[in-house]
């Protein structure tokens, strides 16, 4: 993964620890971990971002689904202890008709169990930063509003960060095209910019507030190139790691990386 990132002029990358639809992960090869850490240092590769499988739902009404989520979460964080400074991003969950408050309660309980278990294995604090992702509000997703993310942070009192997805916040109703400063000021007021650790930089196929979550290539969607120029240069954002999740192949990502670097001032 490090070599692939370097081949397209990327200096950060996101990856799945296992099949994004769930299932078992490959055994850890500690020699490969050591080789990667050396390669990353030599090639200036910054913080890696692991993404939890899409099938995880910490807010499910089904205890078996929550147990699966907890087990995968613990396994992933235990593995990531081998790459200090990494981040782990997850979709908070969908309350599936139980209501947002119940969803927040279940997500918070799972996070507390996970942190307790991994701290015991690590014999101390966890070296990985866990990120709540901003969501578009599709279906019964928890995390569409900054207030919902803050409620999870407050309920757990854990050192959680946030990954802001540009497509998701736009689809969720935050106007990052017409009022980026205002959106970031609201984020700072509710969550705190100090907790913002990463950006998923994606255009959107949908209009503001559509709650649909359909990513588009940079500059080809409703957010548009001018907004991305403001995003990559904004003083509150420009020093954060940016991760593309656009519908591209490897060559497409190389072109988008060059495009975004060309927008920086």
- Percent pLDDT > 90 in the chain is 93
Sign of CA dihedral 122, 239, 45, 177: positive
Look up the pTM and report it: 0.95
| Cβ–Cβ under 8 Å, residues 245 and 204 | no
Q: Domains in the chain, ordered, with CATH?
A: 2-263 (3.20.20.150)
| Predicted pLDDT of residue 21 | 79
Exposure string (b/e) for 60-96, b if CB count within 10 Å is 16 or more?
beeeebbebbbebbbbbbbbbebbeebbbbbbbbbbb
| Ramachandran quadrant class, 89 (left: phi over 0; alpha: psi -120 to 50; beta: rest) | beta
| Cβ–Cβ under 8 Å, residues 246 and 203 | yes
CA distances from 129 to 19, 158, 238, 239, 248 (A): 21, 10, 20, 17, 27
H-state helical runs in the chain: 2-7, 30-43, 63-80, 100-122, 146-156, 166-172, 180-190, 225-233, 250-263
140 C-beta neighbours (distance < 10 Å), count? 16
Instruction: Give the chain's mean pLDDT.
Output: 96
215-216 and 242-244 as β-strands: parallel, antiparallel, unpaired?
A: unpaired
In this predicted structure, the answer to whether residue 241 has a pLDDT above a threshold of 90 is: yes
Question: How large is the average pLDDT for residues 24-34?
Answer: 92
Confidence of residue 135 (pLDDT cuts 50, 70, 90): very high
| Predicted pLDDT of residue 87 | 98
| Cβ–Cβ under 8 Å, residues 134 and 149 | yes
The encoded tokens of residue 185 equal 């000021």
The encoded tokens of residue 166 equal 């540009």
| Predicted pLDDT of residue 175 | 98
| Predicted pLDDT of residue 265 | 87
Question: What pLDDT, in 10s, does the model give residues 176-199?
Answer: 999 999 999 999 999 999 999 999
- Coil, strand, or helix at residue 246? coil
Q: Give the least confident one: 18-32, 117-131, 243-257.
A: 18-32
Question: What pLDDT, in 10s, does the model give residues 12-24?
Answer: 999 998 888 777 8
């Amino acid at each position: 993964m490090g070599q692939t990132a370097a081949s397209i002029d990327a200096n950060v990358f996101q990856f799945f620890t296992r099949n994004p639809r769930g299932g078992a992960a490959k055994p850890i090869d500690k020699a490969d971990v050591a080789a990667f850490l050396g390669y990353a240092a030599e090639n200036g590769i910054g913080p890696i971002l692991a993404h939890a499988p899409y099938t995880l739902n910490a807010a499910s009404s089904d205890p078996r689904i929550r147990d699966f989520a907890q087990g995968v979460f613990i396994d992933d964080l235990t593995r990531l202890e081998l790459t200090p400074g990494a981040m782990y991003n997850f979709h908070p969950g969908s309350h599936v008709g139980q209501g947002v408050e119940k969803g927040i309660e279940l997500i918070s309980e799972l996070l507390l169990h996970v942190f307790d278990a991994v701290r015991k294995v690590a014999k101390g604090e966890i070296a990985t930063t866990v990120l709540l992702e901003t969501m578009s509000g599709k279906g019964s997703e928890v995390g569409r509003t900054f207030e919902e993310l803050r409620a999870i942070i407050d309920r757990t009192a854990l050192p959680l960060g946030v990954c802001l997805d540009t497509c998701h916040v736009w689809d969720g109703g935050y106007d990052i095209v017409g009022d980026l400063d205002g959106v970031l000021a609201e984020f700072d007021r509710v969550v705190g910019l100090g907790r913002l650790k990463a950006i998923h930089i994606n255009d959107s196929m949908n209009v503001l507030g559509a709650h649909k979550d359909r990513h588009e290539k940079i500059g080809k969607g409703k957010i548009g190139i001018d907004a991305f120029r403001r995003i990559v240069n904004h003083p509150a954002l420009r020093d954060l790691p940016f991760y593309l999740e656009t519908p591209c192949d490897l060559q497409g990502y190389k072109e988008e990386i060059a495009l975004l670097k060309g927008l920086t001032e």
